[in-house]
Amino acid sequence: MALYAIGDLHLSLTANKSMEVFGPAWENYHARIEEGLSVLTEDDTLILAGDTSWGIDLPEAEADFRFLDRFPGKKYLIKGNHDYWWTTAAKFRAFCTEKGFTTLEVLHNNCAFYGDYALCGTRGWFMEEDAHNVKVLNREVMRLETSLKAAGEKPILCFLHYPPLYQGYQCPEILAMLEKYHVERCCYGHLHGPTIRRRMEGQQGETVFSLISADYLGFTPKKICD
């Protein structure tokens, strides 16, 4: 039994948006993801930290979800900025039931439990996209707090799509939430290619930060704990 996490699979089995245009780092990436996810067994849990599918709606993302559902273990999906297919948890559940997908669930305004841990998360906020948009920031901070509160007394592992910090940037409102709820670990995605070198990893305050974007991890999910 193990907990794994990876972000930014950017699956494009139906949508015509192959990441291979971004060069050798993404060459043959569907096959490399397939190999990377082959570590999963029935008792494992995988967090998908956003930008999972390029599909613009559920029908266009169906092949990507079928691909993911074929691997054993539970998968929790967090929203990324490119998950245009994103919908309510109820609609996603109904879609999965209709298609016979049994291992996929969205993590949104809630938390899940893994052993003694609470798994929390949300998309997060990034100045790159929503500069000075206080409304968007506040909404994301509220979503994050809803998720963190749902953890109760359990120690928290938090998964965000957007990095709450990287070289030259911090999101104080998100970092304050991580501190308030004594988050043990925060994994984030979104950084690709040249921006990977600006990642900040390791301990800051009570929280250990890690980048888990797929190209950074070489398409092999990061083992978070047993």
Binding site for Fe ion (CB under 5 A): 8, 51, 80-81, 190
Q: Residue 224 and residue 96: Cα distance in Å, rounded? A: 26
- Judged by CB, which is closer to Fe ion: 185, or 190? 190
The phi-psi region of residue 100 (left if phi > 0; otherwise alpha if psi is between -120 and 50; otherwise beta) is: left
CB of 191 to Fe ion, least distance (A): 8
CB of 94 to Fe ion, least distance (A): 26
Name residues whose C-beta falls within 8 Å of residue 156's C-beta, 6 or more positions apart in sequence.
Answer: 111, 117, 118, 120, 148, 181, 182, 183, 184, 185
Helix axes of 172-180 and 134-149: crossing angle, nearest 10 degrees: 10
CB of 19 to Fe ion, least distance (A): 9
- Judged by CB, which is closer to Fe ion: 90, or 131? 131
CB of 225 to Fe ion, least distance (A): 24
- Judged by CB, which is closer to Fe ion: 80, or 221? 80
- Judged by CB, which is closer to Fe ion: 106, or 118? 106
Q: Tokens representing 128? A: 């790159």
- Judged by CB, which is closer to Fe ion: 93, or 139? 139
Question: Which stretch of DSSP H or E encloses residue 113?
Answer: strand 112-114
- Judged by CB, which is closer to Fe ion: 118, or 211? 211
CB of 212 to Fe ion, least distance (A): 11
How many CA atoms, within 13 angstroms, populate the side-chain half-sphere of residue 93? 6
- SS3 of residue 204 by DSSP: strand
CB of 106 to Fe ion, least distance (A): 16
Residue 7 gets which letter from DSSP? Answer: B
Q: Residue 29 and residue 54: Cα distance in Å, rounded? A: 14
Helix, strand, coil percent values for the chain (each to nearest 5)? 35, 25, 45
